[in-house]
Each structure stands twice: as structure tokens, then as C-alpha cells.
Structure 1
């Protein structure tokens, strides 16, 4: 009985710690999502300014690649790996534009582009980084919630003895 009480105390302390961890992760995830949202809004604003400066037909979907466009590779890719606990982790990999297969998307809109278009591109890159961080926080949060659920089952088994 004493051993069960000690185990129950350890489980309760661990549950308390994990609950605080989950709240911290939730707060971090909300902040990251807000940062990403603000960056996306800023990028859209700069795109609108660019469209105003260059004209409505100069910045539109007509500049985007189509099926008949030449093949190209992305400048940034998202990689998935597993950490020591088997949890998916995401990270960005910047590819070096060392050959003609890599095209800077800003060149789709011409070679002399307004500074607002570059600002928009940088804001979208920042938003992507925040989204990747939010995805990593989400996977950690899911793992913590799974562990909380598991410990609650063990706690209920001990209490029902």
C-alpha cells in the first residue's frame, strides 16, 4: 500500500509537470501562429503595393509557372525526420541555386522588380519558418498529451486497486 502511495505521488507530480508543459507549448504555438499570420498579412500587403506600382496585369497569376513551363527545383524544401523518441521533426533546407534548375520566384515578375516584392518574399519566407516551428511544437504537444493520457490510465488503475 505504501508503494502504491509513492507511485501515485510520482505519477501526480509527473502529471502536474506535463500539464504545465502542455500549457507552455500551447502558448508557444499560439504565438507562432500569430507571427505567421502577421507575416502572411504583411506579405499580402506588399504584394498589393507591388501590384499597384506595376499595374494589375504585371503581378497576377499569369506570371506563375504552368504545365508547359520549363522544369525547375524549389529553393527551399521541408524535410521530415524522427528524433530519438520517434517523433516527427520538420526543418527547412535551403537548396543552393548552383544551376539553371533553381529559379528565384521573384524573377517570374520581371528582372527589375519593386522593393515591395522582395519584402513580400522575405515575409513569406519568415512565415514559412514560423509555420515549421509551429508544426514542431504541435508534434511535441501531441506527444505530451499522449503521455498525460497514459499516466492518467495508470493512475486510475492504482486508485481502483
Structure 2
């Protein structure tokens, strides 16, 4: 059975590196589904750095908003799909005034039925700090938290990464990947 996975952590916590190791360990034909929208030079530098670090180990597909359709399309040719990252995806949806709750519902429905490939979802845990001082940031934090809760329910494995070390919150321990 294909086990979907949610990997959470703070900025620069090591969550993406852990998710990449998990993906490479989980399948022979991994895909990297990137949600970043490149809006400035600094973001372009980050994207280029991530791409260089991955090298040719992954097939990279860029999709900033329609994750459900992209998963189905990519799943035909790949046995594991790493989605990085959900908080950028939520940002893209918010910036285009799309209904985030509906999109999350679609993603959850897709994952519940989707068994063509293992899906590893990476996201920033943003609810551990102070309460944001403006309405948009509070809305973003609340939507990210609600998304994580919904995905945490349906993913078989959930990890929290801090200082590059994964903590198993639900499911199988990744001890051999640390």
C-alpha cells in the first residue's frame, strides 16, 4: 500500500532535505512538484539553489496552484512525488483570491483516492511563534494550521523536523534516514 506523508518544520529546519531522502528511499522514479512562484531575484536564487542541490535525481514539475491535477498527471510516470511546499501553495492561492479551503478539500479528496504513487507533502509549521500583527498574516497562519490538521488526519506518516532531525508524530519511524 502507498503511504502518503506530511513533513512539517520551521524555516531552514531541514524538512526538505529529510523529505528528499525519504523520497529517494521510497521510490525509483521520484518527481519533485515545486509550488514556488518566482517573483523576484532572491526567490530565483533560492529556486536555482534547490534545483542545483537536487541535480538529476528528481524530475521537476512546477505547478503553483493546481496540485490535485498535477498529482494525477505526474503519478502516471512516477512512484513517489515530493510536493514542496504547501505554505507557498497556500500563498499562491491567497494572492490570486482563490478559495483555499476548497483547494485543500480537493487535495485531500485526491490523496484519499490516489495510490499511483507515494506523495510526500512538505510544509512550514507557522503556528509556533507569536500571533501575527495583521489580518492577512493571521489568515495565512490559520489556513496553514487548518490545512496541516486535515492532511495530518489522512496521511499515514507525519513527521516534524527540527535541527535536521525528524520526530515521528504518526506512522513509521524513519530512523535509517537521519
Same-fold call, TM cutoff 0.5: no
TM-score (norm 2): 0.21
Say which structure is richer in helix.
1
- When Rg is computed on C-alpha atoms for both structures, the one with the higher figure is 1
The structure that is strand-richer by fraction is 2
What TM-score do you get using the length of structure 1 for normalisation?
A: 0.22
